[in-house]
A and B are shown apart, each in its own frame.
Chain A
Amino acid sequence: MRIALFATCLADTMFPAAAKATVHLLERLGHEVVFPVGQTCCGQMHINTGYQGQALPLVRRYVRTFEPCDVVVAPSGSCVGSVRHQHAMVARQAGDEGLAAAAEAVAGRTYELSELLIDVLGVEDVGAYYPHRVTYHPTCHSLRVLRVGDRPQRLLRRVRGLDLVELPAAEQCCGFGGTFSVKNADTSTAMLADKLQHVLETGADVCTAGDASCLMHIGGGLSRLRADVRTVHLAEILASTEVEAAR
């Protein structure tokens, strides 16, 4: 299958490993990955901070860039959530019904990574090898906006060598929330503190999730604590094989 990658601005700029891993994984599964270069950002930060007008060109850019593609994947529950639940709304708010209809159509073909693997490609065992103790944080937008359910855990359980440990109070928000993390830094930090404590309780050496943004937040907190736990994107785990492990 020919799959278009929406890398997301955050992964593209700050966490390219997650986007590269998505490419390696899909190619290993025998698919062709394309990267339409007109893509930048889904506009979620603008929409969620109250700048829908400024997000409009970004919505238009996303729709025009991915309109020709049959299937789009992004390694982010949050960005796919915005594409699916906000793009048409922003277009409608601006009175652009044509764009709203096009946005809905493209959103219907845009998938978060675990959705693509299980629902579209029909694989649970992606042939990965990752010999680590791992805990999974189900990010809010994957969980409650996209309703990915236990798809990520199903994928992780099939990874050879991986010891999946359950995260206590997993479904509680980590406190990131985009600009919430700076506008309400103290509350965000209080939420993060509880999440970090739960991560540490698991004794895992890796904390994973389907969103680079939440991982940046959790990882930033773990690093400040000098904790011995790394944050690794779900895509990177699924892309790992004996070859990487041997390196």
Chain B
Amino acid sequence: MSTFLGMPAHAPRGVGHLRGDEPFPAAARTALANPQLRRNLEHATTTIRGKSGRVIAEVPDWQELRSAGSALKTYTMANLPRLLEQLEEKVTAAGGVVHWAADAEEANRIVTGLVRQTGEQRVIKIKSMATQEIGLNEALGEAGIDPVETDLAELIVQLGHDKPSHILVPAIHRNRSEIREIFLREMPGVDPALTDNPADLAAAARRYLRETFLSTKVAVSGANFGIAETGTLAVVESEGNGRMCLTLPETLITVMGIEKVVPAWQDLEVFLQLLPRASTGERMNPYTSMWTGVTPGDGPQNFHLVLLDNGRTAVLADEVGRSALHCIRCSACLNVCPVYERTGGHAYGSVYPGPIGAVLSPQLTGIEDNATLPYASSLCGACFDACPVKIDIPSILVHLRNQAPHPRAEKAAMAAAAYTMDRPRLYRRAQRAAKLTKLLGRRGRGLPPPLNGWVASRDLPSPPDESFRDWWRGR
């Protein structure tokens, strides 16, 4: 375990996928110009929203469950060092090996080294946000190891040389005819007569994956929960491919963010009720796999747990921002977000898109590297209402905006506005000057950026002849 003294470090640059190439507004513009993407997104998010809403309505104590989830997470964050050590102790006692990774580079080095030790050239992967965050597939590739994604949607993304755009439905931006084309082009041994019928597409993927499962000796997974009390790791998924990866290979390497620890076995009672209903709109998720270290003669005989920090301790240090670590990656906030629904996930530049990405990515990287993300929200509050662990995302957004670097012209304008607003006489004069905006016309001729963004689609209001306070005076 590396020792770090002083302020906790952020996720390092140059490795992993937490930073985009462009600021959010520019990336969003590209996405908005793609009508097919917008149709796919609207259809997919509307469908999940409806499904999830219906099954949540069946639970009479949903609000109490949310509060319980939130309380458990708050407790966990307040006791994180102790719980992590307890987890390490229990996993070790059960025959696993625990590794501590301060950042993405260290985690990649550890995993690559472990795979090398096995002498294998290929690993199968369970869908995992943490390994995407650190860019593990790229690191393995550089080391001559071939990672194969086994989650259907992740496989589509991988074969399409694409990036995931949703936490849970990584290929949400693709429709079935696009998927057919990708399979025909990239999938080894695919039937050239493949149709775009969803059942056919799934069957093609199954044939390809079954072979891979049976012939690969190392698997890499993430974890939804790590139980400190027992040393048990848990992965929840819908397809069963994850379970194949967790049971068939000889070696299993799990990369888990340190915030995924939960105190006790019984706590899963709360999370396993919240997660499926909020995420996929299912009453119970189809596959819940749990394992504790190594069981002789059953499943992988070598188990490694890599505990990943990569900026999480820095998030924990922020009293308001730390609740972003409570996230259980259900993606409900994405599905209800009016911004996400229109821009899709790529615009956020990070593996964590949508509202949770807008508060998590800038905190993991340091705000300078993701300065526009906290502004990628109209603060409509739909995410807060949807979040099964009650993360107050709008408040964190506002908090992060207060830390973000501000454009110089904006800073000057804001200072002038605040100065005026704190001096009623000056304010009154400014109100009278507001009438001058009439000169701009309703289309705001000559307005400088960013104000011209308003008149690109909206007329300016026509200023009144007299302000309210002038009217009140003359009354």
Q: Complex: how many Å from CA A182 to CA B382?
A: 21
Residues of B within 8 A of A223 (CB): 442, 458-459
* 16 pairs of residues in contact across A and B, judged by CB atoms under 8 Å: A7-B468, A12-B467, A13-B431, A14-B434, A16-B467, A40-B427, A50-B398, A51-B411, A93-B402, A140-B380, A177-B379, A178-B378, A178-B379, A180-B378, A181-B454, A187-B32
Is A197 engaged at the interface, CB distance under 8 Å to the other chain? no
Please give 16 more A-B residue pairs, beta carbons under 8 A apart, in addition to A41-B421, A49-B414, A51-B414: A14-B463, A20-B471, A49-B410, A50-B374, A51-B411, A51-B418, A144-B381, A173-B380, A173-B382, A180-B379, A184-B375, A187-B339, A187-B342, A191-B338, A223-B459, A224-B459
Q: Complex: how many Å from CA A85 to CA B379?
A: 13
Closest-CB distance, A197 to chain B (whole angstroms): 12
Is A141 engaged at the interface, CB distance under 8 Å to the other chain? yes
Is A152 engaged at the interface, CB distance under 8 Å to the other chain? no
Q: Complex: how many Å from CA A28 to CA B318?
A: 50
| A interface residue numbers (CB < 8 A to B) | 7, 9, 11-17, 19-20, 23, 35, 37-41, 43, 45-52, 54-55, 57-58, 61, 86, 89, 93, 140-141, 143-145, 171-173, 175-193, 216-217, 219-221, 223-224
**6 residue pairs, one from A and one from B, having the closest CB atoms:** A177-B378, A185-B453, A220-B458, A50-B401, A144-B381, A173-B380
Closest-CB distance, B207 to chain A (whole angstroms): 40
Select one of A13, A35, A40 contacting B472, CB under 8 A: A35
Query: What mask results when residues 396 to 419 of chain B are scored 1 for a CB within 8 Å of chain A, else 0?
Result: 001011111010001100110110
Question: Of all chain A residues, which has the CB nearest B42?
Answer: A194
Residues of B within 8 A of A17 (CB): 464
Q: Complex: how many Å from CA A189 to CA B379?
A: 15
Select one of A14, A39, A58, A191 contacting B464, CB under 8 A: A14
Select one of A48, A89, A93 contacting B379, CB under 8 A: A48
Residues of B within 8 A of A140 (CB): 378-382
Residues of A within 8 A of B117 (CB): none
Select one of A20, A50, A182 contacting B453, CB under 8 A: A182
Is B3 engaged at the interface, CB distance under 8 Å to the other chain? no
Q: Complex: how many Å from CA A50 to CA B469?
A: 29
Contact A35 B469 (CB under 8 A): yes
Is B199 engaged at the interface, CB distance under 8 Å to the other chain? no
Is B424 engaged at the interface, CB distance under 8 Å to the other chain? yes
Contact B402 A50 (CB under 8 A): yes
Question: Of all chain B residues, which has the CB nearest A180?
Answer: B378
Q: Complex: how many Å from CA A188 to CA B454?
A: 9
Question: Of all chain B residues, which has the CB nearest A7?
Answer: B468
Q: Complex: how many Å from CA A140 to CA B424?
A: 29
Name which of A173, A176, A186 has the most chain B CB atoms within 10 A of its CB: A186
Residues of A within 8 A of B464 (CB): 14-17
Contact A184 B25 (CB under 8 A): yes
Contact B422 A182 (CB under 8 A): no
Q: Complex: how many Å from CA A191 to CA B32?
A: 11
Contact A183 B422 (CB under 8 A): no
Query: What mask results when residues 285 to 317 of chain B are scored 1 for a CB within 8 Å of chain A, else 0?
Result: 000000000000000000000000000000000
Q: Complex: how many Å from CA A221 to CA B458?
A: 4
Given contacts A58-B418, A185-B456, contact A176 B384 (CB under 8 A): no
Query: What mask results when residues 420 to 458 of chain B are scored 1 for a CB within 8 Å of chain A, else 0?
Result: 011010010001001000000010000000110110111
Is B120 engaged at the interface, CB distance under 8 Å to the other chain? no
Residues of A within 8 A of B401 (CB): 48-50
Residues of B within 8 A of A47 (CB): 398
Is B82 engaged at the interface, CB distance under 8 Å to the other chain? no
Contact A175 B456 (CB under 8 A): no
Number of A-B contacts (CB under 8 A): 185
Residues of A within 8 A of B385 (CB): 144
Query: What mask results when residues 343 to 374 of chain B are scored 1 for a CB within 8 Å of chain A, else 0?
Result: 10000000000000000000000000000101
Select one of B29, B404, B460, B471 contacting A50, CB under 8 A: B404
Contact B459 A220 (CB under 8 A): yes
Q: Complex: how many Å from CA A179 to CA B29?
A: 17
Q: Complex: how many Å from CA A226 to CA B276?
A: 46
Closest-CB distance, B34 to chain A (whole angstroms): 12
Residues of B within 8 A of A52 (CB): 402
Select one of A19, A143, A189 contacting B457, CB under 8 A: A189
Is B113 engaged at the interface, CB distance under 8 Å to the other chain? no
Name which of B404, B410, B468 has the most chain A CB atoms within 10 A of its CB: B468
Given contacts A40-B424, A219-B461, contact A183 B380 (CB under 8 A): no
Closest-CB distance, A130 to chain B (whole angstroms): 21
Given contacts A175-B378, A176-B378, A186-B25, contact A12 B469 (CB under 8 A): yes
Given contacts A177-B377, A182-B451, contact A144 B468 (CB under 8 A): no
Closest-CB distance, A127 to chain B (whole angstroms): 22
Q: Complex: how many Å from CA A191 to CA B331?
A: 20
Is B24 engaged at the interface, CB distance under 8 Å to the other chain? yes
Contact A7 B469 (CB under 8 A): yes
Contact B421 A40 (CB under 8 A): yes
Q: Complex: how many Å from CA A40 to CA B464?
A: 18
Closest-CB distance, A183 to chain B (whole angstroms): 5
Contact A216 B467 (CB under 8 A): no
Question: Of all chain A residues, which has the CB nearest B458?
Answer: A220
Contact A57 B457 (CB under 8 A): no
Contact B424 A9 (CB under 8 A): no
Is B168 engaged at the interface, CB distance under 8 Å to the other chain? no
Is B28 engaged at the interface, CB distance under 8 Å to the other chain? yes
Q: Complex: how many Å from CA A187 to CA B417?
A: 26
Residues of B within 8 A of A41 (CB): 421
Question: Of all chain B residues, which has the CB nearest A217?
Answer: B458
Closest-CB distance, A227 to chain B (whole angstroms): 11
Closest-CB distance, A109 to chain B (whole angstroms): 21
Residues of A within 8 A of B422 (CB): 40, 57-58, 61
Closest-CB distance, B408 to chain A (whole angstroms): 13
Residues of A within 8 A of B378 (CB): 140, 173, 175-178, 180, 188, 191
Residues of B within 8 A of A46 (CB): 414, 417-418
Closest-CB distance, A186 to chain B (whole angstroms): 5
Residues of B within 8 A of A143 (CB): 381
Q: Complex: how many Å from CA A16 to CA B29?
A: 35
